[in-house]
Structure 1
Amino acid sequence: MRTDFAGRRAPLFWLALKTGLFTVLTLGIYRFWMKTRLRRWYWSAIRPGGQPLEYVGDPIEKLLGFLIAVVILAFYIGIVNLLLMFLSFSLFQGNGAAYLLSFLGVIPLWFYARYRARRYILARTRWRGLRFGLAPGAWGYAGRALWHWTVTLLSLGLLLPRMTFHLEKYRTDRTSYGTAMMVQGGRWQMLYPAMRPLFGAAALTGVAALALNFGPTPAPGIGLAMLAAAAAVYGLVHYRVRTLEMLTANKTLDGVALTLDASPFRILMIHVLGYLLAGVAILLPLMVLGFVIMGLHFAELATESGATQIVLLENLPRWLLIGVSAMLYFTIFLIWSALTHTFVTMPVTRHYARGLRVLNPARIEAIRQRPRDEVVQAEGFAEALDVGASI
């Protein structure tokens, strides 16, 4: 069973621009409606077997969950930071230790929030009328994520595949579609081939360091360092895409299997060219506006009397200048958000969707509906910590 993607750029651009404008006009309150409408657009565009996904999330759930999470986080962070600051000044005569410990204390909440956001999204996603779901386990995920990240950092990244596999297995083995539970098969060692470009980038980095320290001139070392940086960027994208393919190929759902065909180079080019196009679309009008203002400035300076010098800006009320500046800033922000949806998020989603295949789809007919998960607080913690802002 193939998967199609039916979305087009123009409707998405205007939807993102319009909902972004409403978000600014309501001082951010419409953000929850904006995200809901954008998700419904993306979900309806992804069509496995010609039948679209359905997103049934409620903006009110998101708003209430966000308000509850903000109150809890404000109390937690306020009390914890107060105690840490007291201890830091008492023991170390400074606040540096308090800031460091405060940052480290938020990391578990970040993993906790990501898991809860994923659970809410799956609980509000349907296909062929059946609900997806994710079992509770946010704190378990946060603890495992902290452990695996610590081990990965201590191994200088050599155990990155181990972390990738075990965290994905924890999430996948708790994911359900209707009454069927998903299972992540395979072993973590199978992900090591995806590390080859990263190993190459590490080798180039070592050669660049030798050339910079012992070479007759720094030019070759600088060139090798730039090449190593480019190789590292591609290596990260390659690792992400290839591990996603391998993990997807080893997932099963009550006899149903999946395959994914994606190109790391294509994903990288979508990001590079997409952000480049968005940046050019933003900068060109600003450059034109800047040249116009400079032209008026020099034209006024060229007059003999100078009576009209900078009259255009000097005589405007201060509140109007602030208002125009704020409008210009938010206009740039809104257009950038709409353009990145159009040239980055949508093409990446389309590429992954069209590469997805469902094997043995006849087994889906035996799957039945599951009870609805309430998921109290929705994505509140993810919104408050700004890790749930993505589609």
Structure 2
Amino acid sequence: MFWLAIKTGFWTILTLGFYRFWMKTRLRRWYWSAIRPGGHAMEYTGDPWEKLLGFFIAVVILTFYIGLVNLVLMFVSFSVFQSASLGYMASFLGVIPLWFFAQYRARRYVLARTRWRGVRFGLEPGAWGYAWRAMIHWLVTICSLGILWPRMTFWLEKYKTDRTVFGSARLVQEGRWWMLYRAARPFIAGVGLLVLWAAWVLWFRPVIPLAGDGLSDLFTNIGAVVDFRFIPGDWDRPARLFLVLPIAVLLIYGAVHYRFVSKRILANHKVADGVRLSSELNGLRVSVIYAVGTTIAYTILFFGVVALVLLALGLLGPDAFLEAQIGTADPLGALPRWLSVGLLGFAYLSVFLLWSVLHQVFVTFPLMRHMAITLALVNVAGLAQVSQRARDEFAEAEGFAEALDLGAAI
């Protein structure tokens, strides 16, 4: 995986990003072939050329749509409200449905190009239905201050699962949405501790004792912190502020735990023609993979950026930036300017290529391996009745997800 990611990433840099469609295709083929339910390897049949063509189609459509919509919104905003802020906000909100539309279309493409034992997977059309449902669920979740997040997770997953097929077999998402609260327990605990900590250091015994008791004084203390209207010598046991660090760690762990343990709970309630899924995914194991993998990747990225800055300073000199402003800089001595800029640009891209490869090796790969190892099929007799389905043709493949930088699967 390391050398494949390095090689394909290198070609992506040399081709200014065009090779990424081939890179994604080769990585998916590697991952799919490494997953072998019952000893039969999965197959990925996607074509990089259809990805490239789909990307161009999506860019043309999005350019026309976003440009036209923005023009109308800005005209109305200036004409009616004499302000551009409302136009910008409406323009942002107008793109949100396209995000959900692109996510569903990308999933449909990936399933349509996936086979097991020669039988194709598929996802029925329904991208716009998913988009407006997602917007409504997000609105309800925001209005509930996140309390109904499991409800949104369940119903959006059910919409996609109930339209997923394996040959002639249709998947069904069973269960109830409140069962996902079990996965949210660590995050709920973190939020509760954060509220208690904030009430302690801002209200009951303020770290910055600027006022007495009362709700209005709470906002006074918060405003003092924001505006830096306090004297450090007047702080009351400021060490209590550091308690937010373990609480933040618990919140991050809770978010990762919910994301993957909810997948386990949902997987255990999926069924297709009598065949059931059984997942034993371990939330703690996934969190360790995330913690170790991201630490390795971002540590290398940090030192790479530092080395890049030192390289630039060493080649250009500590006064190069000031000299560049007055027109007396001499980059890299006798080297041509285009060559010096090219070397630094190549080094910059190489640092981020290495970060991407390490994230692929230490995060994506172990996560997919753990999820595959802990997933099993129960009562597989129903697989004998599954027949082939027609190939799902696509005009734009994952073009909208690529154009909106959402990605898909890998």
Q: TM-score, normalised by structure 1?
A: 0.89
Aligned to 1:341: 360
Q: Using the alignment, how far apart are the partners of 1:248 and 1:234 within structure 2?
A: 21
User: Which residues of 2 match residues 108-119 of structure 1 at below 5 A?
Assistant: 108-119=97-108
SS at match of 1:85: helix
Aligned partner (choices 245, 258, 273) of residue 239 of structure 1: 258
User: 1:286 & 1:108 partners in 2: Cα distance?
Assistant: 36
Please say if 1:279 is aligned against 2:298.
Answer: yes
Q: CA separation in 2, counterparts of 1:296 and 1:136?
A: 56
> Which residue of 2 is the match for residue 194 of structure 1?
183
Following TM superposition, by how much is the alpha carbon of 1:379 offset from its aligned partner in structure 2, in angstroms? 0.7
2:39 is matched with which residue: 24, 46, 50? 50
1:289 is displaced (CA, Å) by 7.0
Matches of 1:352 and 1:321 in 2, distance apart?
46
Q: How much does 1:239 deviate? A: 1.1
Partner of 1:141: 130
Which residue type is aligned with residue 339 of structure 1?
L
- What is the CA distance between 1:355 and its match in structure 2? 0.3
Q: 2:394 aligns with which of 363, 370, 375?
A: 375
In structure 2, runs of 5+ residues without a counterpart are 208-235, 318-328
Partner of 1:353: 372
Aligned in 2, Cα 1:92/1:292: closer, same or farther, shift over 3 Å? closer
Structure 1 letter corresponding to 2:95: V
2:86 is equivalent to residue 67 of structure 1 = no
Q: 1:260 to 1:279 in 2, by over 3 A?
A: same
| Whole-angstrom CA distance in 1 between matches of 2:313 and 2:32 | 47
Report the counterpart of residue 95 of structure 2 in structure 1.
Answer: 106
Alignment of structure 1 residues 271-310 onto 2, 5 Å:
271-284=290-303
User: Which residue in 1 is equivalent to 2:324?
Assistant: none
Q: In structure 2, how many angstroms separate the alpha carbons of the residues matched to 1:293 and 1:384? A: 32
What is the rounded CA distance, in whole Å, between the counterparts of 1:334 and 1:39 in structure 2? 18
- Give the AA of the match of 2:164: T
CA distance in structure 2 between the partners assigned to 1:213 and 1:110 by the alignment? 39
- Is 1:173 aligned to 2:173, yes or no? no
| One-letter code aligned to 1:367 | V
Cα deviation, residue 220, structure 1 = 4.8
Q: Provide the residue aligned with 1:225 in structure 2.
A: 244
Structure 1 position 288, deviation (Å): 6.0
Per the TM alignment, residue 224 of structure 1 is displaced from its structure 2 partner at its CA by 3.0
SS of aligned partner of 2:332: helix
Counterpart code for 1:324: L
CA distance in 1, matches of 2:84, 2:119: 52
What is the match of residue 302 of structure 1? none
C-alpha RMSD of the superposition: 2.1
1:250 matched to 2:250? The reply is: no
Aligned to 1:266: 285
Shifted more, 179-188 versus 259-268: the winner is 259-268
Structure 1 pair 103–316 and aligned structure 2 pair: CA distance change class (3 A): same
Give 1:295 shift: 8.2
Match of 1:80 among 69, 73, 78: 69
Q: Which residue matches 1:8?
A: none
1:212 CA drift (Å): 2.1
Which residue, 383, 386, 390 being the options, matches 2:405?
386
Q: 2:115 & 2:400 partners in 1: Cα distance?
A: 23
One-letter identity of the residue aligned with 1:103: F
For the residues of structure 2 that align with 1:239 and 1:48, how far apart are their CA atoms? 26
Q: Does 101-110 or 238-247 show the bigger shift?
A: 238-247
Instruction: Specify every segment of 5 or more residues in structure 1 that has no aligned partner in the other structure, as ranges.
Output: 1-11, 299-309
From 366, 376, 384, give the equivalent of 1:365: 384
Q: 1:15 aligns with which of 4, 14, 38?
A: 4
Cα separation, 2, equivalents of 1:160 and 1:28: 36
Partner amino acid, structure 2, of 1:60: W
Q: Which amino acid aligns with 2:280?
A: D
Q: How many pairs align?
A: 369
Rate the CA distance shift 1:140–1:285 in 2: closer, same or farther, 3 A: closer
Whole-Å Cα distance in 2 between the matches of residues 135 and 93 of structure 1? 45
Structure 1 residues 377 and 202: CA distance shift in structure 2, 3 A: same
Instruction: Give yes or no for contact 2:187–2:255 (8 Å, CA) kept in 1.
Output: yes
Letter in 2 for 1:112: F
Q: Percent of pairs identical after alignment?
A: 54
Alpha-carbon distance in structure 2 between the residues aligned to 1:64 and 1:295: 43
Who is 1:32 aligned against? 21
Whole-Å Cα distance in 2 between the matches of residues 141 and 254 of structure 1? 24
Aligned partner of residue 262 in structure 1, secondary structure: coil
1:318 counterpart residue number: 337
Bigger Cα displacement from structure 2, 27-36 vs 225-234 = 225-234
Tell me, yes or no, if the aligned pair for 2:106 and 2:408 is still in contact at 8 Å.
Answer: no
> Helix, strand or coil: the match of 1:259?
strand
